[in-house]
Amino acid sequence: MKMSMMLSPHTQPSLLQIPTGRSNLSVVNCRPQKDKVVVVLGATGAGKSRLSLDLAARYPAEIINSDKIQVYEGLNIATNKITQEECAGVPHHLFGIVDPEADFTAGDFVTKASQTMKSIVGRGKLPIIAGGSNSFIEALIDDQNHEFRTCYDVCFLWVDVAMHVLHGFVSDRVDRMVADGMVEEVRKLYNPNADYTKGIRRAIGVPEFDLYFRAEYSSSVDDKTRARLLEEAIEETKINSCMLACRQLEKIERLRKVKGWKLHRLDATPAFQKRGAEADEPWTKMVATPGSVIVNQFLFNIGHSQSFVKVVDDGRRTPKRVVDDGRRTTIRAAEMVAVV
């Protein structure tokens, strides 16, 4: 019987509470005392959402957003929210749930994320937290009362891309967002008296267009000047996006070196150096497959030299090496447990 550790997120039972009692199959239950959470870190544009979806295609999982701007309603293009189609049927939480004018603090995130994790675990699913707001993630995991660490074991995956390569990708992404209608989207939100330090207007791509929109409403500004201001706004959006990526990387390094977080670094640079379908193979090889192996070891408490599952079928034990060939399996979660 060929086996794989990859599970369909919609048809498989819980990985967190492995069921027993099938008439023709006995299983050793090795469920840990703590529930488990996967956190995907990385700079803006590095592929956090893609890896999260790759994992959700292999394990019964739901994704929790930890981006402090994507929690707001609106500006789907400017904030680069994942689309319904891209979700691929995987439940996503904390996207577009906050009024654009409201403030949403790290404390608010901790409350919402904690409730969501508890709900996901209660459904027998794996919570995957993904987003670029590392301050939110730090507030959740290293809370003063140690509530998170008391209840959960956590696995950190860090999707990293060489900064000079990522800057090129982020710059191109801004051009794609503009082509997709970002300027028109931000224009609808524009208010000359707005406070750019509050709510969704803090998003990169909003304050940068202030002078351009003011020029649009001014009869004394000619078309040439307006065109120049538009180009400058787009360029400033690119620069600020790249600066954000640098700050996020610095924060990740601080969490690793100062806070002592054990981060599993996945180098996605080779994938970002390719274009289109050519990027799929290096992404799978360098990010998706090793990320899945790390999560597999984490979920089933498997050491690096113990990538096996044990099936107890009619009294016969048959160890099988884990197979990760990129395909979903029909093996039930109840049939899989770590060899210890």
Domains and CATH numbers, the chain: 35-162+256-335 (3.40.50.300), 168-241 (1.10.287.890)
pLDDT of 327 > 90? The answer is: no
Asked whether the predicted pLDDT for residue 52 surpasses 80, the reply is yes
**DSSP-derived 3-state class of residue 311:** strand
User: CA 142, 145, 147 angle in degrees (round to 5)?
Assistant: 75
> How confident is the model at residue 145, as a pLDDT?
86
Please say if the pLDDT value at position 302 is more than 80.
Answer: no
Q: Residue 226: pLDDT above 50?
A: yes
For residue 106, is pLDDT > 60? yes
Give the model's confidence band at 207: pLDDT under 50 very low, under 70 low, under 90 confident, else very high.
very high
Distance (Å, whole) CA 112 – CA 136: 11
- Give this prediction's pTM: 0.80
The answer to whether residue 152 scores a pLDDT higher than 50 is: yes
Tell me which of 140-144, 162-166, 174-178, 284-288 is least confident: 140-144
The arithmetic mean of pLDDT across residues 28-48, rounded, is 84
Q: What pLDDT is recorded for position 301?
A: 84
Q: How high is the mean pLDDT of the chain? A: 84
Task: Look at residue 236 and tell me whether its pLDDT is greater than 90.
Answer: yes
Per-residue pLDDT band at 136 (split at 50, 70, 90): very high
Q: What percent of the chain lies above the pLDDT cut of 90?
A: 76
Burial of 208-247, coded b for 16+ CB within 10 Å and e otherwise, reads: bbbbbbebeeeeeeeeeebeebbeebbebbbbebbebbee
Spatial distance between the Cα atoms of 69 and 80, rounded to a whole number of angstroms: 10
pLDDT at 83 over 90: yes
Whether the predicted pLDDT of 282 surpasses 50: yes
Q: In the prediction, which pLDDT does 78 show?
A: 98
Burial class from Cβ neighbours inside 10 Å (0-12, 13-18, 19+) for residue 88 reads exposed
What's the mean pLDDT in 285-303? Answer: 93
